Structure 1
Amino acid sequence: WVGVPYWNQGYVTEAGQLMLALAAQEFNLNRLVAAHRIDNPASGRVLEKLGFNELEPRRMTNLSGEYLFRCYRKNLP
């Protein structure tokens, strides 16, 4: 979660770029998956900026209830 005063500053995109590099270089991962609640389109825009491709939406349940999520995948170099 990112506090409202920090929205639209590029911090999450920058952190995501660093995490992608870490995943590929340090952990030798070749693919990542991510998801966000469908009522949070800003998170989807960040994932798209980072090069993730959208998959089919999925329903997930947690202690707060059931939510519809958009799922994404990114193949790493």
Structure 2
Amino acid sequence: MPTSDGAHIDARGLKCPWPALRVARAMRSADAVTIEADDPVAPTELEALARQQSWTFVAKGAHLFAIFRAPEDV
């Protein structure tokens, strides 16, 4: 069951698909993840993962990204 706590992942130096795999694993227990990833393919891979899982993807900088679950309607 995911918690509301966010996780931070430092994936600098890792080539895809490793950053996306780390996000997928972190999202098992968190509602939000920020990730630093410098692989040029990372933004595309992370955005595709978020879209596939119905998560929100935000590019916060050149190598900083946020992925989070949309709040559920109550």
TM-score (norm 1): 0.44
Which has the higher relative contact order, 1 or 2, with Cα contacts under 8 A spaced 6 or more apart?
1
Normalising by structure 2, we get a TM-score of 0.45
Question: Could you say which structure has the larger radius of gyration?
Answer: 1
